[in-house]
Structure 1
Amino acid sequence: MNTPSTRKRKRPPTWLLNLMTALVGIATLGLGVGWLIYSWKVDLEVPYFAIPLVLCVPVIVAVAFRNIWD
């Protein structure tokens, strides 16, 4: 039987999945860079501890988004 609980989620085409993954990663990077610039202007100092996080978190978010369909 194909009940809703046993059905697998339909995977979108690979090109669309790649495009959506890239857009999610770029959007997350934009949010991180925006926060970094905002905090630099408001606090008048760069939070150096956050620079590696701003660069690494978009990759983690994009991979997690991509794994929804795997």
Structure 2
Amino acid sequence: HVANDPKRHDRDWKDKRLLTEATFGWAITAHKAQGSQWENVIVWDDGMGRTDLDRRRWLYTAITRAERGLVLLA
């Protein structure tokens, strides 16, 4: 059952107004990025679906794609 919440839009806007909006038009997975490098890299770590060991390996691969600039969102 889904309840109608007329104040949700206002509440969500207040929570999100200071966030940076991003589109993922140039996004690829860390797996697909293996062997490539870019000057600037943004890594979004949602923390979902991985064991701790897999997560560390994935983060290492993602982070080491950056040549100059790195932004890690977690």
- Asked if Structure 1 and Structure 2 have the same fold, meaning a TM-score greater than 0.5 normalized by the shorter chain, the answer is no
Higher strand share: 2
Q: Quick one: higher RCO (CA 8 Å, sep 6+), 1 or 2?
A: 1
Higher helix share: 1
TM, length-normalised to structure 2:
0.30
TM, length-normalised to structure 1:
0.32
